[in-house]
Structure formats: structure tokens, C-alpha cells
Amino acid sequence: MTKVFPNGPSSSCSDAIETVLTVWKKSMLLNCEGFTVFNAEGNLVYRVDNYLAGNKGEILLMDAAGNPLFTIRRKRLSLADSWVVYEGETGANPRFSARKQMNLLKSKCLARVVELAGSWSGKGMSVYEIEGCYGKRCCAVYDEKRRIVAEIKRKEAAGGLSFGTDVFRLVVQPQIDTTVAMALLILLDQMFGSSSTTP
């Protein structure tokens, strides 16, 4: 079996170094859904293990040791497909609010994510727009200045063979934390991962 990592050296030409993660849409635990995420050296950095495969209302992003980083919850009684991202495992510190774009014919935007007021960063409110096609693993995350701060890309094995859509790359620029970028990826998977007819 071909290894899903490492990615090799970064191809960025700028002084700032991007982080390239390999995302495997597979839980480390049997009978669970989730993600296993490796860095360029092949070390485990993030994991998602959803014990209730049918539970799409709450997802927990953990570090390699299983410590909770973000809890991602679907908003109840919402007309749109809306989500809230909380820090840690509690629902006390909301960090982001996310909404799926409902009319994709009039907009290239798949989802819009807003950092909630009073957030931890102290840099002012961040707004991210995600464009592309998650089903094809080809998405870009733009910040409020329209800079690409993260991308989801297909990953190829040695010899040009494709891994398909279960193994792909998350390329993260220094302007965004890798944990936040991973939370955005999970949001996209919840919004668009279960249907082949949506982007």
C-alpha cells in the first residue's frame, strides 16, 4: 500500500513558509468516521473520531494526543445550514460562525465563516469565504483581504497515481492557524461531503 505521507518539501517561493498537511478521511479507530491528519514528516497532528456515524450535529477536532481543540456544532432551528465552532470541548467559548451558501448559481462562495466578536485573536474580526468544489477536493479559503490563506488540493502518489478523494492535501499559509484551517475543512465536509450533487 502506498504511504499517504509525506508531502515532500514545500514549493512556496516566498519567505513565509506554508504548512502542508496530508488529510486522510479515515478514523484511527474501528467503526468510526473521521479524519487522520499528518504533517510533512509523517507525524500525526490532528484527528477526528466520530463514534456515532449518524451524528452529523457535533464533531470534535483533537490534537494527536486526543486533546480537544474545537467542537463544531450544527445550529438547531436554523433555516440555513449554519454551524458554530467552539473552543475546546465546551459550548461556552464560540469562536466562529459558519453558513453554507444556499444559492450557488449566483455565487462562487461555498461557505462564509465569521470570527465572533470578542474572540481570542485581538486582531479584529476575521471573515473567511470558501470557494471551489469540495467534492473534487479543490477549494480555496480567502480572508477579508481576498488573500488565499488555505487550499484543499488533490494528492498524487508516486508515479502520478491518484489517491482519490479520501486522501488529499491541506495547504495552510502563515496568515491563518493550521487548527482553524482544519476546522474549516471539517465544516466543508459536513456541508458538502455526503452528497455528490453538491460542490
Domain holding 78: CATH number? Answer: 2.40.160.200
Q: Is the pLDDT of residue 12 over 50?
A: no
In this structure, is residue 79 part of a structural domain? yes
Q: What is the average per-residue pLDDT within 116-143? A: 80
CB-count exposure of residue 149 (10 Å: 0-12, 13-18, 19+): buried
In this structure, is residue 112 part of a structural domain? yes
In this structure, is residue 7 part of a structural domain? no
pLDDT grade, residue 76 (50/70/90)? confident
Q: What is the average per-residue pLDDT within 126-141? A: 93
What domain range includes position 107? 19-192
pLDDT in tens, 176-187: 999 999 999 999
Please give the span between the terminal C-alpha atoms of the chain, in angstroms, as a whole number.
Answer: 30
Q: What is the average per-residue pLDDT within 96-115? A: 84
In this structure, is residue 199 part of a structural domain? no
In this structure, is residue 2 part of a structural domain? no
Cis ω for the linkage preceding 6 (within 30 of 0): yes
Tell me the average pLDDT of the chain: 81
Q: Is the pLDDT of residue 14 over 60?
A: no
Q: How far is CA 191 from CA 47, 134, 161, 173, 197, in A?
A: 19, 9, 28, 23, 12
In this structure, is residue 45 part of a structural domain? yes
User: Count of domains in the chain?
Assistant: 1
In this structure, is residue 14 part of a structural domain? no
